[in-house]
Amino acid sequence: MSDAHPQELSDADARARVKELVEDIDIAMLTTQDAEGHLVSRPMSTRTMDLTGDLWFFTLEDSKKIDEAESEHDVNLSYVDAKGHRYVSIAGRARPVADRARMEELYTPVLDIWFENGLQTPGLTLLRVSAIEAEFWEPRHGRLVQAAGMLKALVTKDAPDETMQHGRVRYAV
């Protein structure tokens, strides 16, 4: 994927697009650092992303990710939609949040797959990731135009035309 000449979006457009992509792709790989300094990733279902850049997830208080978030706050969230060629990477700071009202607002029955007692699951809590920086890449045009551009690049041996749109956002810390 070439990013030699990406067309940057305005900050407001990029923030809105990051939020749309994150909420559409839903599952992120949350990467934390364990006690030995190893990077550890696991899938998490995104409940929402606020306009301020806070992302919200449900988890259990006694999970390793909570221990790692409390001792090493820096995390990364990676979102991949391989079929749609859409990618998002978010660097942020994680912290557990015990907020019953927010939990009631964000909980949906689909989460019963992981939390069989729903909101009554013992130790259920929220994990908030406050974004520091986010980047995304997605096709600038539809699949047919993108495929034609890639084919042209293969035939001409030139770099592909700007097939990917790129955005970068810095959030207030």
* pLDDT tens-digit readout, 98-149: 999 999 999 999 999 999 999 999 999 999 999 999 999 999 865 554 555 5
Neighbours of 168 (CB within 10 A): 15
In a domain, 52, yes or no: yes
Instruction: Decide: helix, strand or coil at residue 23.
Output: helix
3-class SS at 37? coil
Cα separation, 140 vs 5, whole angstroms: 12
Number of domains in the chain: 1
Residue 164 pairs in a beta bridge with: 139
The reply to whether 5 falls in a domain is no
Give residue 126's domain range. Answer: 11-170
Is residue 2 a part of any domain in this protein? no
Verdict on whether the full-model pTM lies above 0.85: no
Identify the pLDDT of residue 152.
Answer: 54
| CATH number assigned to the domain comprising residue 77 | 2.30.110.10
Q: Name the residue with tokens 């999970």.
A: 63
Q: Give domain status of residue 153, yes or no.
A: yes
Question: Does any domain span residue 43?
Answer: yes
DSSP string, 101-146: HHHHHH--GGGGGT-TTGGGSTTEEEEEEEEEEEEEEEESS-HHHH
